[in-house]
Amino acid sequence: MAVLKIAVLISGRGSNLKALIEATQSPNFPAKIVCVMSNIADAKGLDHALVAGIPTFVINHRDYKKREDFERVLDEKLTSYGVQLICLAGFMRLLTSWFVDRWRDRLINIHPSLLPSFPGLDTHQKAIDYGVKFTGCTVHFVRSEMDHGPIIVQAAVPVAMEDTEATLAARVLLAEHRLYPQAVQFIAENRVNVFEEKAFVADTKAPRDMLINPEYKTTLVKNEPTT
Ligand code: GRF
Q: Whose CA is nearest to atom 14 of ligand 1?
A: 15
Ligand 1 centroid to Cα of residue 119, in Å, is: 13
Ligand 1 centroid to Cα of residue 223, in Å, is: 38
pLDDT per residue as tens digits for the range 7-49: 999 999 999 999 999 999 999 999 999 999 999 999 999 999 9
Q: Whose CA is nearest to atom 1 of ligand 1?
A: 90
The mean pLDDT value for 167-191 works out to 95
pTM of the model: 0.91
**CATH classification of 109-208, choosing from 3.40.50.170, 3.30.365.10, 1.10.1420.10, 3.40.718.10?**
3.40.50.170
Is 124 known to be catalytic? no
Nearest atom in ligand 1 to the alpha carbon of residue 11 is 12
| Residue-level pLDDT at 208 | 55
Considering the segment(s) 1-103 as one domain, its CATH architecture is 3-Layer(aba) Sandwich (3.40)
Ligand 1 centroid to Cα of residue 89, in Å, is: 6
| Residue-level pLDDT at 214 | 44
The pLDDT confidence band at residue 217, using thresholds 50, 70 and 90, is very low
DSSP conformation letters of the chain: -PPEEEEEEESS--HHHHHHHHHHHSTT-SEEEEEEEESSTT-TTHHHHHHHT--EEE--GGG-SSHHHHHHHHHHHHHHTT--EEEESS---PPPHHHHHHTTTSEEEEESS-TTSS-SS-HHHHHHHHT-SEEEEEEEE--SSTT-S-EEEEEEEEPPTT--HHHHHHHHHHHHHHHHHHHHHHHHTT-EEEETTEEEETT----STT-------TTTS------
Q: Is 136 in the pocket of ligand 1 (CB under 6 A)?
A: no
| Residue-level pLDDT at 206 | 58
Q: Whose CA is nearest to atom 12 of ligand 1?
A: 14
Domain range list for the chain = 1-103, 109-208
pLDDT per residue as tens digits for the range 89-123: 999 999 999 999 999 999 999 999 999 999 999 99
Q: Is 176 in the pocket of ligand 1 (CB under 6 A)?
A: yes
Mean pLDDT of the chain: 91
Q: Whose CA is nearest to atom 5 of ligand 1?
A: 90
